[in-house]
Copies of this chain bind each other. A is one copy, B any other.
Amino acid sequence: MSEGQEHKPRRLRNIAELAKLAGVSPGTVSRALADKDLVNRETRERIQALAREHGFRPNQMASRLRTGQTGVVGVVIPLGHEQKQHISDPFFMTLLGYLADALIERGYDLMLSRALPGDSAEWLERVVDSGMLDGVLLIGQSDQFATIESVAARYRPLVVWGTHREGQRHCVVGTDSDAGGRLAAQHLIARGCRRIAFFGDTRGLEIERRLAGARAAAAESGTGTRIDDFPTHLSAEEMGSQIAADLDRMDPATDAIFAASDLIAMATLRLLHERGRRVPEDIALVGFDGLPLSEQTVPQLTTIHQDIAGGAQAMVAALLARIGGSDSPSTVLAPQLIVRETA
């Protein structure tokens, strides 16, 4: 008011300009904005008020370069064996949503990438060495187990969603797929099913384990139950026609289907309905994931539930521990059979 202060102050470009305006040095402004008590409270508040008035905010790029802390966590979805799979896959998206919530709550930003691995380890190294990230979260191992292992050997703040293998070095959080597969098969066998079809692409580590678990349970049951597997594309476009074809060519004696994901199960449920096959009377169906959506189908889907929210929390907790320098072990979540109406 007293001075020739413009009504609409021009935007301040940097800390130095604000310093000149306040009649102090840039260093003082930096400390004042960081609210350090090294600077007198009056001065501090005066500078903060000035900054607010001019809508000034220090350049993050510079700050982060200087401090080496970025406050950003990278989330990448490797699409190795299934390049057509869209990033908007509901399972990924659900997990991503929980991760975002957990990270943002802790003051981190989240940078999203989709990686097309190809042949070399370059895709992961590029992310990890970008110098932009405090840590990296991988959603899924795809078929890149070896690559992940090699990078994890030198880059600590890396946490992966996926399957745990004996003796692996990278920190992983995921459901016990073996146990999940067992649970599904045991339930179906207990219901009297003896000929089970497995729908899923076993090139993915987790899915391969789900089938293995189911096969083990079948063998242990001593009922002579057989499990035939049908690879299923994950891309929405191809999934439908492929499942339709599988439904038509599979052994007519098949009395149950174990779908590797709820999404596959939902599509299967629809196609069975179209063909006039009643579920579960004519054929039983079990899904995998326990997405909120699986509750909304008619009939409601029986499924193996993964604790996605808990998994996200565990991933973030492990990552922050690693960013902080401490080591964190892998977490294996117990799957849970949710019996609803389809089996």
Q: Footprint of B on A, CB under 8 Å?
A: 55, 57-62, 64-65, 70, 72, 86-90, 93-94, 96-98, 100-101, 104, 109-114, 125-126, 129-132, 236, 266-267, 269-270, 273, 292-293, 295-298, 300
Q: Which residues of B are found within 8 Å of A109, using beta-carbon distances?
A: 111-113, 132
Contact sample, A vs B, 28 pairs, CB 8 Å cutoff: A57-B125, A57-B126, A57-B129, A57-B130, A59-B131, A60-B132, A61-B70, A62-B65, A86-B97, A86-B101, A87-B97, A87-B101, A88-B97, A88-B100, A88-B101, A89-B97, A90-B90, A90-B293, A100-B112, A101-B114, A104-B114, A109-B112, A111-B112, A266-B293, A269-B296, A270-B296, A296-B297, A297-B297
A114 and B126 alpha carbons, distance in the complex (Å): 26
**Docked complex Cα distance between A114 and B57 (Å):** 19
List of B residues within 8 angstroms of A90 by Cβ: 90, 93, 293
Query: In the assembly, what is the distance between CA of A100 and CA of B129, in Å?
Result: 21
CB distance from A140 to the nearest CB of B (A): 15
B298 contacts A270, CB within 8 Å? yes
How often does this chain occur in the complex, in copies?
A: 2
Which residues of chain B come closer than 8 Å to A97, judged between CB atoms?
86-89, 93
Measured between beta carbons, the chain B residues less than 8 angstroms from A62 are 65, 131
The complex places the Cα of A104 from the Cα of B114 at a distance, in Å, of: 7
Give the complex CA separation of A62 and B64 in angstroms. 9
Nearest Cβ on chain B to A275's Cβ, whole angstroms: 12
User: A133 → chain B, closest Cβ, in Å?
Assistant: 9
Kindly state the separation between the CA atoms of A151 and B86 in the bound complex, as whole angstroms.
33
Give the chain B neighbours of A72 by CB distance below 8 A.
111
Q: Are B298 and A129 in contact, with the CB atoms below 8 A?
A: no
Asked if residues B114 and A112 are in contact (CB atoms below 8 Å), the reply is: no
Separation of A273 and B296 alpha carbons in the complex (Å): 11
CA distance A64 to B70 in the complex (A): 13
A152 to chain B, nearest CB (A): 15
Question: For the complex, what is the distance from the CA of A122 to the CA of B62, rounded to whole Å?
Answer: 21
- Residues from chain B with Cβ under 8 Å of A88 in the complex: 93-94, 96-98, 100-101
